[in-house]
């Protein structure tokens, strides 16, 4: 199920009773949580997936899926634009990230380095988890 509106995250456990997991649409979730049009030149600089309110919603969805042993991935611009956001998602337990082609290598190398620092016994080679 696409998790794109705040109510999906707030009621994630209930939605996951009927679906086998979530694909979080971070662009839409951020836009609706912050009440901002990301394509507007007037307010687009305020659009940021790393906002605390957005991260709280993402965390709710990820934890609910993990609690029920279900898949949770994310699609959207955030992990491609912000390596720190991709790292936060990995630490939260996200199963997969979609990335822009031009950011795949650098993001995977960054995540591999972080993963290897966190858990040196479980080495992450770029592209393989």
Helix (H) or strand (E) holding 11: none
- Kindly report the CATH number assigned to the domain that includes residue 31: 3.20.20.60
| Domain extent at residue 41 | 2-99
Interatomic CA distance for residues 49 and 69, integer angstroms: 25
Structure confidence by residue, pLDDT tens digits, 86-129: 999 999 999 999 999 999 999 989 888 888 877 666 555 544 44
Pick the residue with more confidence: 39 or 16?
16
| HEC-encoded secondary structure of 23-38 | EEEHHHHHHHHHCCCC
Task: Tally Cβ neighbours within 10 Å of residue 51.
Answer: 15
- Identify whether 126 is part of a domain: no
pTM of the model: 0.86
Q: How many helices (H) and strands (E) does the chain have?
A: 7, 4
Q: How many domains does the chain have?
A: 1
């Amino acid at each position: 199920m696409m998790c794109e509106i705040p109510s999906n995250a707030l009621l994630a456990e209930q939605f996951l009773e009927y679906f086998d997991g979530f694909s979080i649409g971070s662009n839409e979730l951020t836009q609706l949580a912050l009440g901002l049009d990301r394509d507007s030149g007037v307010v687009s600089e305020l659009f940021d997936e790393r906002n605390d309110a957005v991260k709280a919603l993402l965390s709710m969805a990820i934890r609910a899926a993990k609690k029920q042993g279900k898949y949770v991935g994310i699609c959207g611009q955030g992990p491609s634009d912000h390596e720190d956001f991709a790292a936060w998602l990995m630490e939260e337990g996200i199963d997969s990230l979609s990335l822009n082609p031009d950011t795949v290598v650098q993001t995977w190398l960054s995540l591999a380095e972080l993963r290897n620092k966190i858990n040196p016994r479980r080495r992450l080679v770029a592209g393989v988890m």
